[in-house]
Structure 1
Amino acid sequence: MRVLILSVTAGFGHHATAKAIGDMLTAKGAEVHTLDVYAYISHLVKTTIDKGYLFSSKHMQTLYRLVYQLAENNGQSYLSAGPNVINIVNALGASKFAKVLAGYAPDVILCTHVFAAQMVDELKKRRKLDDIKTIGIVTDYTLHPYWEDVPRVQYIVTASELLTYRCVQRGIPESRILPFGIPVHPKFNQPLSREDAASQLGIDPKRPTLLLMGGSMGYADNVKNIEKLTQIGLPLQFLVVCGNNKKQFLRTEHFASRYEGACTVKPYGFVNNVEVMMSAADCIVSKPGGLTVSEALAKNLPMLLVDPIPGHEERNVDFLVNNGMGALITKHFPIDEAVYQLFRNPARLETVRRTMKAIAHPDATERLADFVLGWQ
């Protein structure tokens, strides 16, 4: 079977999801190719989406939130008021991209971003993909705006069956919904003892350990958080992942070199062994990106959520907090207080882990791969 995965550069999660499901399908014998849709239509559009997403989500959060809420709350009525910019770009680039797809001759197309799904829907409308099966994958614990506007995409994968009611309310028939979970790399589903993970990282498996992450761009102010946490009187170990943020890494490294207290600080840049760190940790402090959340769920790792990007990450917070799987760090519930309460209340930690285990879909990647390969 030939499978084509379509993604869009806007953060790291969409491509990571594409790689996870692509690797699984390849391992099961499929021929898989992954494309960034707008790289084949317009380099300007590709760059604008990528840089615009990063800039607006970090520096124009109020506006970003307003635009997201407008699209989300009005649904079809918002879309029917007139074509949005992406629909216009897709309409103009559809014929060009149809020729690209013809060169791959896929049996199935998977879309890990709604903009890619909109392109597929446009081509379906033009009868360019009549014999090709299509699936969209939602990479957050919500239904992003515009997914209800791709009726020709045959199935939509969601993060949880708990979201089915909301999807139906937004106009997606339940028969099109596959609540498999967000696909993560199979390594997050492999058992690894705390002792073995700690050994790989060179840390003490008996000490309480926090994993601090700020997304692939390293948005979180790790030093400020660590300074607070070192004051609560617990001999904590900190695994601090700074992503691609070199300034954040150097600041964390500098703090670690001059700190002389009872805690241990280990700074990292961009890493490829997050699953090992999660296996060694008692809790993760992180932005609530859909992929990170799914990885933590697969590893049964309680979450303290910080600095959500307006829109989709705020919806992830709603889902996690309202279902008892995480807590949101705020001005009135600061990180030091949250960590103190969590580690002074073992029953709470255990309750969170049980809830996560009941809701998580660590097998999401394999379930989706098997569905694709068995689709007649």
Structure 2
Amino acid sequence: MSGAERRGEEVPPEARPPSSALHSALMISASFGGGHHQASSAVAQALAERVRLRLAQVDAVEMLTPAERALIVGVYGFWLRHLPAAYHAFYRWTDQPSEPRIVTSSFEWLGIGGLRRELLAQRPELVVSTFPTSVALADTVRRREGLHFLNALVLTDYRVHHHWARPQADLLLLPTESTRREMLGWGMAPERLAVTGLPVSLEVERLSRLGRLERRREMLAALGWDEDPPEPLILLSGGSGVYGAFMEILEVLGNLGERVRVLVVAGPCPPGVQQLGGAAVHHLGYRADFAALLAGVDLLVGKAGGMTVAETTALGVPLVVYRPIPGQEEHNAEYLLEHGAALWPRSPHELRRAVLTLLDPQARARTAAAARALGCPDAARQVAGELLTRLGWEA
């Protein structure tokens, strides 16, 4: 998303279609991983293609006070790095109707000062959240200040945890029919539910329409490589942040017994090439063209965040899930496994065997086809269309 959009300025004329009315929207995401931001930006892109729009995007984490941020972000990061079992226990404890009121009530006040200022400054007609607590907070401000906007929530996982079942949302945009049934099970009104797919960027949608050779050429051009290497290309995700299995995966990839090339984006090592056993590991640093790399590789190895699942299925890229975050990512992995779109090894030995399985062209083709069958490359446009219909905006 552009700087103008983040500041709440009008989208430049060359980036939007002609229309008689200028509308306003506030996108709320959260910097717990990158998936919430990416989904938010994808919806913003799709909306801006359809209507004249003044867009602002905010991070729910930045709305917190310094003390709140230190506590919530600090505890979350500590759990994932050092005590994943504690995070899993919290996930299960809060995923029930009897969840303590002390937890659910916090959704109505944590960060309320920052979001209140943003909503009063922007006075949007549409608020789209990609993080569950934000939609509840926006509703609290709306009621207290007498504001009027459509309060929408985009689910960015493939199972509905109790926190996503937010009665404060006017519209819940869901990735699958199974999540719609789960929302109904939590008591959400059916008229507030719409199955759209999990929104991926318009760039991922474009790449999904290309053939295998075209994608490969774009990937090679992005890497600056003159020739397509003979070795299989494996992309390693989750290199940054709190992914504790990163070095374990690299060690396994270096001991496959055959030569591979591994692309690492935003990993802990400085940019350069490292030979690790039979693996030539290309540490690429941060890359804005991650989608082009993903579309061109043979295989992705890493976690199972909602956006990772959405992008790999949109592009039909086989995924080997390894040590996903307990709770939501495990459910995402189960969704892929159930449909034959991924493998989920549980040990280094099983990881080696899973990677070798998907390096076989026939097995890889079967898994890629299963992934592609689950994909929804145009989900961002589906979300935008649903929002425009509910708002009655002309497109």
TM range (shorter): 0.7 to 0.9
**Residue aligning to 1:105:** 123
**Residue aligning to 1:357:** 372
Q: Distance in 1 between matches of 2:228 and 2:279?
A: 11
**Residue aligning to 2:236:** 212
Q: Aligned AA for 1:274?
A: F
Q: Which runs of 5+ in 1 are unaligned?
A: none
Q: Aligned AA for 1:70?
A: W
In the TM superposition, what are the counterparts of 1:1-376 in structure 2 within 5 Å?
1-28=23-50, 29-37=52-60, 39-40=62-63, 42-72=65-95, 74=96, 76-78=97-99, 81-84=100-103, 87-88=105-106, 90-91=108-109, 94=112, 97-124=115-142, 126=144, 128-129=146-147, 131-148=148-165, 150-191=166-207, 192-201=214-223, 202=225, 204=228, 206-214=230-238, 216-217=240-241, 219-241=243-265, 243=266, 245-246=267-268, 249-250=269-270, 256-259=273-276, 263-331=279-347, 334-344=350-360, 346-374=361-389, 375-376=391-392
**Distance change >3 Å, CA 193–CA 169, structure 1 → 2:** same
Deviation, 1:108, is 0.7
**Distance change >3 Å, CA 169–CA 232, structure 1 → 2:** same
Contact 2:239 2:264 in 1 (8 A): no
**Distance change >3 Å, CA 15–CA 47, structure 1 → 2:** farther
Q: Which moved more, 1:350-359 or 1:93-102?
A: 93-102
Instruction: Using the aligned pairs only, state the percent identity.
Output: 24
Deviation, 1:3, is 0.7
Contact 1:120 1:153 in 2 (8 A): no
Q: Aligned AA for 1:18?
A: S
Q: Distance in 1 between matches of 2:48 and 2:321?
A: 34
Q: Distance in 2 between matches of 1:20 and 1:114?
A: 17
Contact 1:158 1:181 in 2 (8 A): yes
Contact 1:215 1:289 in 2 (8 A): no
**Distance change >3 Å, CA 93–CA 51, structure 1 → 2:** closer
Q: Distance in 2 between matches of 1:36 and 1:370?
A: 24
Secondary structure at the counterpart of residue 27 of structure 2: strand
Deviation, 1:337, is 0.7
Q: Distance in 2 between matches of 1:96 and 1:262?
A: 51
Q: Distance in 1 between matches of 2:101 and 2:135?
A: 19
Deviation, 1:283, is 0.8
**Distance change >3 Å, CA 38–CA 301, structure 1 → 2:** closer
Deviation, 1:293, is 1.6
Q: Which moved more, 1:366-375 or 1:180-189?
A: 366-375
Q: Aligned AA for 2:116?
A: A
**In the TM superposition, what whole-angstrom CA distance separates every residue of 1:16-35 from its partner, at most 9, and x where no partner exists?**
22222223323433211012
**In the TM superposition, what whole-angstrom CA distance separates every residue of 1:232-279 from its partner, at most 9, and x where no partner exists?**
3333221122x2x53xx15x95xx5454x6543211222211112112
Contact 1:236 1:264 in 2 (8 A): yes
Deviation, 1:58, is 1.9
Contact 1:20 1:185 in 2 (8 A): yes
Please give the TM-score of this superposition, normalised by the length of structure 1.
Answer: 0.86
Q: Distance in 1 between matches of 2:357 and 2:114?
A: 56
Q: Aligned AA for 2:31?
A: T
**Distance change >3 Å, CA 96–CA 211, structure 1 → 2:** closer
Please give the TM-score of this superposition, normalised by the length of structure 2.
Answer: 0.82
Secondary structure at the counterpart of residue 282 of structure 2: strand
Secondary structure at the counterpart of residue 30 of structure 1: strand
Contact 1:10 1:54 in 2 (8 A): no
Deviation, 1:223, is 4.2
Secondary structure at the counterpart of residue 162 of structure 2: coil
